[in-house]
Amino acid sequence: MKVGIDKLAFYTPPFYLPLATLAQARGVDADKYHIGLGQQHMAVIPPDESIVTMAANAASTLLQDEDKSSIDHVLFATESGVDQSKAAGIFVHHLLKLPARCRVVELKQACYSATAGLHMAMALLQQNPKRKILLLAADIARYGLGSAGEPSQGGGAVAMLLSANPRVLAIEPECGYYTRDVMDFWRPNYRDEALVEGKYSCEIYLDTLTKAWQHYHETSGRSFEDHQQFLYHIPFPRLAEKAHHVLRSYVDLPKAPKAEVSQQLDAALHYSRSTGNCYSGSLYLGLVSLLDNHADDLSGQRIGLYSYGSGCVGEFYSAVVQSDYRQHIFTEHHQTMLAKRQALTIEQYEQFYQYHSHSAQHESVPYTTTGKYRYAGSKDHKPIFESSGVTARAPGKLILSGEHAVVQGAPCLVVAIDRYTTTTVTAENKPHLRFHLPDIQHVGETTFDKLGKAKSRLQDAYGKFSRGERGIRDVLQKPFELLHYTASHTLEKLDPKRERGFEVSTQSTLPIGCGMGSSASSVVSTNYAITHYLGKAVDSKLQYELSLAAENMQHGQSSGVDLHIAIYGGCHLFQQGQSDARPCPTQPFYIVNTGKPESNTGECVSVTSQHFAQEESLLDAFSDVTHQVDQALQNQDDAALITAVKANHALLVQIGVVPKTLAKFIAAVEQAGGAGKICGAGAVKGEHAGCVWLLGDKIMLARLAEQHGYTLETLHAEAHGVTLV
C-alpha cells in the first residue's frame, strides 16, 4: 500500500530583509551573501508571529476543503519550541479546531526531526489506512545581530497532510541513516541565539551525506541514476549545491559543471533563496519549491532526499511523485504570498528581531502580520495565540422553477448547490483596504476615504436607475465595484470609525453571470467574513439586509432569492419575501453552462415584466408549474418532474429569455425522453443563457451536450448556507 504526502503547503511571514541591505549595514560585499550563500533575501519574523502561527497558517491552506475529523495525529517538528513542556502543536490544534480525539507531540533533533516524524507517520498509516496525519515543521533561525551566521537566518513553516494512497508523493520504505555525537551547532536553553562552528558543521553535513547514502544504497539496491531529482537539507542554497557535487563524486560520477548543477537544483532552491533557513522545514521547503517551480511534469519521477540535523543525525530516502500532483499543491498561493511581502529597512529588521528574545515578556504585541493567526502576547507567563483572519464560504444556487415570475410575486423553488465563493479577510499593516479578487483579475488597494466616495457615487448612480434615468448596467462600471460597495456599506454600518485596514480575498467555483448565484454568494461570503473579522454579532436578518443593498447594485431590484439561499442553504419555496423550507433533494443535478449571457439580469427582468403586464394568465401558469416541480421532487416522481420541467421551459420560451440555439438543444433532449430549462435569468439577446438544468439518462445527456458544444456537469444540493471555514 502506498503511503505518503497527500497535500503540502508552506508559509513564511510577510516581511523580508534584502541581503544587499544587510551587507551594506554590516560593511561587507553583497556578493559574499548572494554568491557565497546563494541567497538573495531572508524572511524576518514580525513581533506577532511565532512557530505556532506560522505552522497554523501553513496548515490552514491545505485543510481549507479537508474533512478534519479523520486527522488523529499532529506531529510538530521544531527546534524553536515555545515551551519546555507543552507541545507547540497543541496550540495549533486549538487554532485549527482539530478533533479532540487526536495525538499531539513535538519532535526535536535539530533540522532532522520532520523526517523522523514523516517515517513515524508512515508506520501509523500502514497500521490504519483510514487515518490522516498532520505533520508540521516550523522554525525561526536566529544567530545574533552582527554574527557570522546572521545572513543565513530566516524562518517559515511547512505543513504536510499524510495519508494512504497519497496524491502528491509516495514515500518508499528503504532508507539509510547515520548518527554521530558532535557539537557543530547547538542552542542552549539559556540563550536566544544558536551557536555554530560553521566550517566544521558543513564538513559534518557532507560526511553524513555519504554515510547515509551508503546505507540507503545497501538497503534499497538503487544507484544514483535511479533518481531523477535530488533534494538536500538547505541551511543555505550553496551548501545544497555542494552536497550534490560531493554525492556525485562519492558514486564515481564525473564532476558536473557548476552551471549544470545549478540548473538541476534551481527549482528546488528557488524559495529558500528568498526565505533563508527554516531548520526543520528546510528540506521540505525545497520539496514544495521543486514541485511548484519545475517546468516539467514530474509525475512518476523518483526523488532522492537527504535530511540532516546537527549534532548529528542524517538520513537518505526516496519518494515517487504521483500523477496529477499539480492538482493538490498550492503553487499560485505560494507565489502570491512571496510577491506580496514587504522589504524592511535595517532599522525595522533589528527592531523586529528584539521582540523574540526569551527574556522579553509582552502583555500585548502590536499588529504587524497579515497571516490568519497571530501571537497576541502573554499573560501570567501563558502565550496567547489568536486568529487574525476570518474565512467564510457561501453556496451558489439553482432556480428549479419560477425565475422571473418570482419578481412579480409568484412562488420560486430554489436549491443551494455544492459550488461556493470563499472569502478570507486578513489584517493589513496600513490604514487601507486591499482587494484580491483573482476570478475577475482584480488586485488593488484603496483608502477608507476613497472607498466611501466610491460608495456615494454608486448610490447616486443607483438613484438615477431607480428614477429611470439610466440602465442597471450603468451603475456598476467594473465588476470589482460590487465587493468594494459591499465592504464599504458594511463598514459604514458596523465600524464607521475604523482606522486599521484589512485585505478581502475571494475565490469562487461558480461561473460568473451564468445564473448560479455568483454575485450573491460573493456578497454574502464577503459580508459574513467582514462582520466576523470585526467581531460584530450580526444575525441572519442583518446579514440579509447588508447583502441586499449590494445585490441591488448588481441586479436593480433583487428578489432576494439568491441571497436567502446563500445565507441559509438547503431547498426553499420562496414567495414575496417569505420562505418555506423543503426537504433537500438527494438526487444529483445535471447541468450545462451555455456561457455568460450578453444581457444581465436587470435587462431580462425589464423585458419579462412587459410580458407579465400584458398577459395576466402567465403568472398563474408559472405558479402552477412551480408547485408541480415542487411536488414531483418531494415525491421523487421522475416522470412527473420531467413533465413539469418541460412545461416550465415552454413558459420561459414564451417570455423571451431562451435563445434559439438553446431551444434547439433542449428540444433534442426532450425528443430523447428528457427535459431541460434555464436556471437563472436566461438571455434576451445573443446565444448564451447561463446554466441549464437537464433531466434524463446521464449518458444520453452527456452525448447530446457534446454534440451541441456543451459539457455535462454534476451538482448536488448543499444543506448549509454561509459558514466560517
Q: Which residues are catalytic?
A: 79, 111, 233
Whose cell is 439577446? That residue is 685
**Angle formed at CA 583 by CA 582 and CA 589, multiple of 5 degrees:** 100
Q: Which three cell numbers stand for residue 245?
A: 557535487
Would you give the DSSP letter of residue 109? Answer: B
692 by DSSP, 3-state: which?
strand
Strand-pair partners of 580: 573
C-alpha to C-alpha distances, 345 to 10, 54, 350, 353, 706, nearest whole angstrom: 25, 22, 9, 12, 58
Q: Which residues contact 502 (CB under 8 A, 6 or more apart)?
A: 425, 426, 427, 428, 433, 434, 530, 533
Per the CB < 8 A criterion, the answer to whether 363 and 377 are in contact is yes
Instruction: Give strand ranges (E) for 273-370.
Output: 302-309, 313-321, 342-343
Q: Which residues contact 548 (CB under 8 A, 6 or more apart)?
A: 558, 560, 563
Q: Which residues contact 128 (CB under 8 A, 6 or more apart)?
A: none
Whose cell is 500532483? That residue is 325
Q: How far separated are the first and last CA of the chain, in Å rounded?
A: 32
Per the CB < 8 A criterion, the answer to whether 511 and 595 are in contact is no
* Cα 292 from chain centroid (whole Å): 15
Give the per-residue SS3 of 456-475.
HHHHHHHHHHHCCCCCHHHC
Per the CB < 8 A criterion, the answer to whether 275 and 285 are in contact is yes
